[in-house]
Amino acid sequence: MFRKEIKVLDCTIRDGGLMNKWQFSKDLVKSVYDSCVAAGIDYMEIGYISSSDQFPRPEFGPWKFCAEDEIREIVGDNNTGTKLSVMADIGRINYDDIRPKDESVVDLFRVACYDYQIDKAIDLAHHVMDKGYDATINLMAVSKVNDRALDQVLEDVANSRVKTFYLVDSFGSLYCEDIHSLLDKYRTALPDRTIGFHGHNNTQLAFANTIECIRGGANMLDATMLGIGRGAGNCPLELLLSFLKNPKYRLEPIIKCIQDYIYPLKQNIDWGYFIPYMITGSQNDHPRSAMAWMASEQKDDYLAYYESVVKNKEI
């Protein structure tokens, strides 16, 4: 599939960090960055941007904060074809802590929000745009949003200056036909905006849903190396690149980084397809109870987890 408008965003560090509180070695982060540059990836999302009083250090690693000096230790002035992105959660960043774009190597702020936070998200997006950055809004957990609320969100975004809006399958619960239908709705409501997609792999559909989005006209696609990410993880970057035929992308640097740095993380982090994550995905639930189960002594007692989930549904 070749369409020159398509952009790929690597969020290996940002989403993968949800599994280890962003405690990656500097070597690993540098390798991910260098590989993205060498592979022709359009954006690398290096972490969440949060004000330093929001989370305790050293419990959380540097990519929970994305301080300018720590980003520059990895990327220098980033004179490359790969732009840098950070994700902002509503309420985690003080407006005054955001420096003007000409003092930062960051190019793009992605504002993640729930439907009821859309006004705050648009306000933050406009704020960073006024400081010189690009901005997207990523509406999370759309599988739980009812039609009327979603129409309101889309209308608000249509009336904003935000140029890119993301379809996000936060729980990994959407089937291809759900994706098809939502994307159609997004594109109809926002005909002059770019639509992005961020999937999760609970039911092994993150890559399939990304292809569905490509076919439906989404032009900004999230992926991570070896699919590393929260719970079941994300669309694997190496699969996405093998599908896209745009000659600007190269697979080898990604395979090398996976081999040297990402695959070895599997010794300590259980991301990917595990039965508890599959259960929350197929039930359209937040993965938090599955993540807690996977962090417990009884992680391999899948039946007990399943029974607890079903029992909770019946109450």
Residues that bind its own copies (CB under 8 A): 175-177, 201, 203-208, 211-212, 215, 226-227, 236, 238-239, 242-243, 251-252, 255-256, 258-259, 263, 272-273, 275, 278, 282, 300-303, 306-307
Extract the tokens encoding 300: 């391999």
By beta-carbon proximity to its own copies, the closer residue of 156 and 178 is 178
- Shortest distance, position 172 Cβ to its own copies, whole Å: 11
Q: 103: how many CB neighbours lie within 10 A of its CB?
A: 10
By beta-carbon proximity to its own copies, the closer residue of 85 and 202 is 202
Q: Which residues face 137 on adjacent strands?
A: 111, 165
Backbone phi, psi, residue 304, to 5° = -65, -40
- Shortest distance, position 289 Cβ to its own copies, whole Å: 16
- Shortest distance, position 299 Cβ to its own copies, whole Å: 11
Residue of 277, 174, 289 whose CA lies nearest to 227: 277
- Shortest distance, position 309 Cβ to its own copies, whole Å: 11
Q: How far apart are CA 235 and CA 16, in angstroms?
A: 12
- Shortest distance, position 84 Cβ to its own copies, whole Å: 26
Q: How far apart are CA 255 and CA 270, in angstroms?
A: 20
Q: Which residues contact 311 (CB under 8 A, 6 or more apart)?
A: none
By beta-carbon proximity to its own copies, the closer residue of 124 and 254 is 254
By beta-carbon proximity to its own copies, the closer residue of 90 and 309 is 309
- Shortest distance, position 274 Cβ to its own copies, whole Å: 9
By beta-carbon proximity to its own copies, the closer residue of 227 and 287 is 227
By beta-carbon proximity to its own copies, the closer residue of 115 and 169 is 169
By beta-carbon proximity to its own copies, the closer residue of 61 and 253 is 253
Burial class (CB in 10 A: 0-12, 13-18, 19+), 95: exposed
- Shortest distance, position 204 Cβ to its own copies, whole Å: 5
Q: How far apart are CA 240 and CA 97, in angstroms?
A: 35
Q: Is the dihedral of CA 271, 275, 276, 280 positive or negative?
A: positive
- Shortest distance, position 120 Cβ to its own copies, whole Å: 35
By beta-carbon proximity to its own copies, the closer residue of 52 and 242 is 242
By beta-carbon proximity to its own copies, the closer residue of 31 and 50 is 31
- Shortest distance, position 255 Cβ to its own copies, whole Å: 5
